[in-house]
Amino acid sequence: MSMTSEERLHKTIARSGLASRRRAEQMIAEGRVSVGGEVVTRVGAKVDPRRDDIRVDGVRVRPDRPRRYILLNKPVGYLTTRSDPGRRPTVMELLPIALRSLFPVGRLDMATSGLLLLTDDGHFAQRVAHPRYGVTKTYAVTVRGHPSERSLQQAKRGVRVEGQWLRVASVKGLGRPGRRESERPPTKGSARIPSKSPEKSRLTVVLQEGRYQEIRRLFKALGHPVLQLHRERVGLLSDHGLPPGAYRALTPKEIADLVSSRGGSLRAKAGRPLPGGARPARDRQG
């Protein structure tokens, strides 16, 4: 591209990885995009990506910058959002300032802990989040009571809740915690807190889809409210070696594996690796 070449604004946004072309068109129409400090709402507007200051929600669009891919082990008590008007803690506070332009892939509610991907690659986010690409999410779940085999089978067949059909891809009971685990002290932010109470059961649940609070709503409808919920796997990624509140960069192989879960390929550039592997979260009090 020459120094004076222009292209349509929505194409530049899509090349930056922030969104698909269609989603970029919506962002423009919604007044969320500015060029040179002026809001642009005309979808067909042209820009010079190398000279113009293009921003989406105030964040600079850089179409040629290498993409970044982060895996965070979210503790309980943080919102999965870029910002919160109520000034509640968000997952962005667990990252250094240099990574706060990333956006979360999907959501974990405030009371749920576990693995959360963040990126600036819209293509990657779509491949991971959309159920048609087959990237499963695995959860460690503690529920009240003892679900019968019939209830577990019903969870797989599905239950209609508030007009939505909710179901899990698979579910299995883990029984009571073993001696070694039950003697382990609880870890702040982790859902895997053992209990000897006969009124609690531990399950492993796999989701293919990801409807709003699907596991919590489903098991409440089955008469076994969720007490603790932790996402321990996303595809082949696990929380092993990643303490609550810590993050790390994905490796190029992990990125490719997630995107090619059904034979796809990642066309965007892999981001520069973060030094030192897993990093502790910045203390939001400090």
How large is the average pLDDT for residues 245-273? 67
Maximum Cα interatomic distance, the chain, rounded to a whole number of Å: 71
Domain CATH number, residue 141: 3.30.70.1560
| H/E element, 172 | strand 170-175
Distances (CA, A) of 101 to 20, 82, 119: 17, 8, 9
**CA atoms within 13 A of residue 128's CA, in its CB half-sphere:** 28
Residues 115, 100, single domain; the answer is yes
Radius of gyration, alpha carbons of the chain: 21
For helices 252-259 and 122-129, angle between their N-to-C axes, nearest 10 degrees: 60
Residues 74, 97, single domain; the answer is yes
Q: What is the residue range of 217's domain?
A: 136-234
Other beta carbons less than 10 A from residue 151's beta carbon: 17
**CA atoms within 13 A of residue 174's CA, in its CB half-sphere:** 18
> Any catalytic annotation for residue 109?
yes
What is the rounded distance in angstroms from the CA atom of residue 222 to the CA atom of residue 228? 16
Residues 126, 103, single domain; the answer is yes
What is the rounded distance in angstroms from the CA atom of residue 13 to the CA atom of residue 20? 8
Other beta carbons less than 10 A from residue 197's beta carbon: 11
Give me the amino acid identity at 172.
Answer: K
Boundary-marking domain end, from 16, 36, 60: 60
Domain CATH number, residue 13: 3.10.290.10
What is the rounded distance in angstroms from the CA atom of residue 97 to the CA atom of residue 159? 42
pLDDT of residue 148: 93
First to last CA, the chain: 45
Residues 158, 220, single domain; the answer is yes
According to DSSP, residue 265 is labeled -
Please say whether the beta carbons of 187 and 193 come within 8 A: yes
Quick check: 163 pLDDT over 70?
Answer: yes
Boundary-marking domain end, from 15, 37, 60: 60
What is the rounded distance in angstroms from the CA atom of residue 168 to the CA atom of residue 214? 9
Count helices and strands in the chain by DSSP H and E runs: 7, 17
Residues 229, 178, single domain; the answer is yes
Residues 119, 250, single domain; the answer is yes
**CA atoms within 13 A of residue 95's CA, in its CB half-sphere:** 29
Other beta carbons less than 10 A from residue 178's beta carbon: 11
Residues 38, 103, single domain; the answer is no
Residues 224, 95, single domain; the answer is no
Residues 161, 188, single domain; the answer is yes
Query: pLDDT tens across 5-59, in order?
Result: 788 999 888 877 677 788 889 989 999 999 999 999 998 899 988 889 999 888 8
Residue 143 lies in a domain: yes
**Which entry of 57, 64, 109, 257 is annotated as an active-site residue?**
109
**Number of domains comprising the chain:** 3
Residues 34, 81, single domain; the answer is no
Residue 38 lies in a domain: yes
How large is the average pLDDT for residues 122-139? 85
Query: pLDDT tens across 200-231, in order?
Result: 999 999 998 878 899 999 999 999 999 999 99
